[in-house]
Structure 1
Amino acid sequence: MIHLTAAERLINYLHAGPKTAVAVHDPSNMFYLTEGYTGEGLVYISEASRVIITDFRYTEQAERQAPGFRVEMTETGRNHNRVLSELVKAEEITELRVETNWLSVDAFEDLRAAVGEEISFVPLKGAPQKLREIKTPAEIVAIRKACDITSEAFNAILPKIRPGMTEKELQIELDFTMLRLGADEFAFDTIIASGENGSLCHAIPGSRTLKNGDMITMDFGAKVGGYCSDMTRTVALGKPSDEMRTVYETVLRAQSMCEDALMAGKTGEELDKLARDYIDARGYAGRFGHGLGHSVGIDIHEEPRLSQRCKDVLQAGVVITVEPGIYLPGVGGVRIENTCLVKENGCVPLTTADKQLIIL
């Protein structure tokens, strides 16, 4: 089996001939297409060339991280767009695909003025993101490692949770634990929501102190080798109320049902409906206000999604979250989430920490 590079896959996907080139500015797409470059600048790809255009600060880094790419350094009087223009003219390019969804209007106008009006500028329309939906074996290895660290961090943090500590203190402990276990960085800002703050889906950890009887939602993820993980667990600090125990059991059942149903061939819409119908039928209609899940990779939120609006058919190799929740203003909330690898006949949860209610 011939292994194609990400850049080759993009050229094939676009059916790009010798007169078409691509200019990529989105850092996540730059990382993906170069298979490792994390600096600034832009990436130029054509049938004939693979080029990273950057300044002095990143040239050596680019050479190390992307040995398959030539590095062109900017200098005074020769900025990124000027270098891009030189490449386009040297290869007699007539069509340049650009990320109009990423560039500001001013940045696009500057690029067009430098390259020349005689060139046809065509929106790339998220082509790299489309390729990123199906993870390669190497990408899955990185995501699995990130998920292992995330799961291990959860288990390690449980004995440290105690009444009187603040949400912010718990966040710091959890973040430090992920780094200590080998995370390169965090996939996103860790969410800690205790007690009544649990009804805030994206609560910012603050000065609220943890109290006996609280449900504590922790939504967090490690990033390893440029790839993210995402996991949410809700635990009880002391005996929870009967109401919150019922909420927990409802969310757990919805999450497990959808995880069991997750496989290639299903749509995001039908999986979301499975969770939503179950939660609604248990008396919590309107209290599950977000989608069931999102794909995870270089970015924490990727396509496709599990939502009421996503009719995309899932394919094997997609890595996606399953994260139903119930949120009761003034009372609290519960969310349970796993990052899962979609297979032909099911899925593999990559985050493996216990989902049953843990009472500390």
Structure 2
Amino acid sequence: MDFLARQQRVRRALIERQLEALIVTHLPNIRYLTGFTGSAGIALLTLEATYFIADSRYTLQAQTEVAARLFPTENSHERAVVDLLKRERLRRVGIEAERLSLARYEFLTRELGEGVEWVPTQGVIEDVRLVKEAEEQQAIRRAVELAAQVFAKFVEEIRPGVRERDLAAELEYRLRRAGAERIAFETIVASGERSALPHGVASEKRIGYNEFVVIDFGVVVGGYCSDMTRTIYVGTPD
């Protein structure tokens, strides 16, 4: 993945919006821009550089993954953002309006006062992500193919007497064994009358004979998800 090229494309979007920087708090967007796969951090994209703020839990991981200048902090991520904005003398800064919490926003405005003009943004990075690179397309294909291949063999496990929850656990285990980075969302297994539920989380119910079973599942491969839904009839159709 060419993270530097991605950052440059987002910079062009910042220039169009007359922004000096963008604070990125949405983890999928952080991964898209920097390669970071952890669960906590903030990226700051300026017109000249990209910074990644990480605490001590993720410093070593960031050193090996991140295509950005590492800004380690022993304080909160928000405090590090304040320090960076002051150091770089940034004045007109975009925020991910749908992703930055109110508590974080209030902290930033309180610490920086009127010295920074905060500009709510929507879709700055998402618009860039709409056009998928060849590597992204390949990751999506791998995620779909992995899920399909595992399910083709797993379908033999769907039989009367098996609990929905056990089916979900077994499917997720096989998906991980096959190479899934993680499960894309909570696996749905719903049988009988429960198969009509729009979002039937796997329960203690056991599969009955002559019942429909709906299974909705997906995996993450290279940061990209698959989503597959299958309806199986257990028994002898009329």
TM-score between both structures, scaled by the size of structure 2: 0.92
Alignment coverage as a number of residue pairs: 237
Is the 2:22–2:44 contact (alpha carbons within 8 Å) kept by the matching residues of 1?
Answer: yes
Alignment partners' CA distance in 2, 1:82 and 1:172: 41
Is the 1:211–1:237 contact (alpha carbons within 8 Å) kept by the matching residues of 2?
Answer: yes
Equivalent runs, 1:207-286 vs 2, <5 Å: 207-240=204-237
Match in the other structure for 1:24: 24
1:100 to 79, 97, 105: 97
3-state DSSP of counterpart to 2:58: helix
> Deviation string for 1:78-114 (max 9, x for gaps)?
5323322232233332201012211222210101222
Is the 2:3–2:32 contact (alpha carbons within 8 Å) kept by the matching residues of 1?
Answer: no
Per-residue deviation, 1:61: 0.8
Quickly say closer, same or farther: Cα 1:3–1:41, change in 2 above 3 A: closer
Match in the other structure for 1:158: 155
Alignment partners' CA distance in 2, 1:33 and 1:116: 28
Give the 4+ runs in structure 1 shifted more than 6 A.
Answer: none
Alignment partners' CA distance in 2, 1:91 and 1:50: 12
Given residue 131 of structure 2, which amino acid in structure 1 is its aligned partner?
I
RMSD over aligned CA atoms reads 2.0
3-state DSSP of counterpart to 1:15: helix
Of 130-139 and 57-66, the range deviating more from structure 2:
130-139
Match in the other structure for 1:14: 14
Given residue 72 of structure 1, which amino acid in structure 2 is its aligned partner?
F
Alignment partners' CA distance in 2, 1:74 and 1:52: 10
> Deviation string for 1:116-141 (max 9, x for gaps)?
32211001212112222222111111
Given residue 55 of structure 1, which amino acid in structure 2 is its aligned partner?
D
Per-residue deviation, 1:29: 1.1
Alignment partners' CA distance in 2, 1:62 and 1:16: 30
Equivalent runs, 1:87-126 vs 2, <5 Å: 87-126=84-123
Alignment partners' CA distance in 2, 1:18 and 1:34: 23
Structure 2 unaligned blocks of 5 or more: none
Is the 1:147–1:230 contact (alpha carbons within 8 Å) kept by the matching residues of 2?
Answer: yes
Is the 1:97–1:123 contact (alpha carbons within 8 Å) kept by the matching residues of 2?
Answer: yes
Is residue 200 of structure 1 aligned with residue 213 of structure 2?
no
Is the 2:78–2:104 contact (alpha carbons within 8 Å) kept by the matching residues of 1?
Answer: no
Alignment partners' CA distance in 1, 2:3 and 2:233: 48
% identical aligned pairs: 34
TM-score between both structures, scaled by the size of structure 1: 0.62
Is the 1:85–1:114 contact (alpha carbons within 8 Å) kept by the matching residues of 2?
Answer: yes
Per-residue deviation, 1:4: 5.8
Match in the other structure for 1:292: none
Q: Which has the higher helix share?
A: 2
Structure 1 unaligned blocks of 5 or more: 242-360
Alignment partners' CA distance in 1, 2:164 and 2:71: 47
Given residue 178 of structure 1, which amino acid in structure 2 is its aligned partner?
L
Per-residue deviation, 1:3: 9.0
Match in the other structure for 1:249: none
Is the 1:221–1:231 contact (alpha carbons within 8 Å) kept by the matching residues of 2?
Answer: yes
Match in the other structure for 1:70: 69
Alignment partners' CA distance in 1, 2:167 and 2:145: 20
Match in the other structure for 1:134: 131
Given residue 170 of structure 1, which amino acid in structure 2 is its aligned partner?
L
Per-residue deviation, 1:18: 8.9
Is the 1:214–1:240 contact (alpha carbons within 8 Å) kept by the matching residues of 2?
Answer: no
Alignment partners' CA distance in 1, 2:54 and 2:3: 28
Is the 2:10–2:128 contact (alpha carbons within 8 Å) kept by the matching residues of 1?
Answer: yes
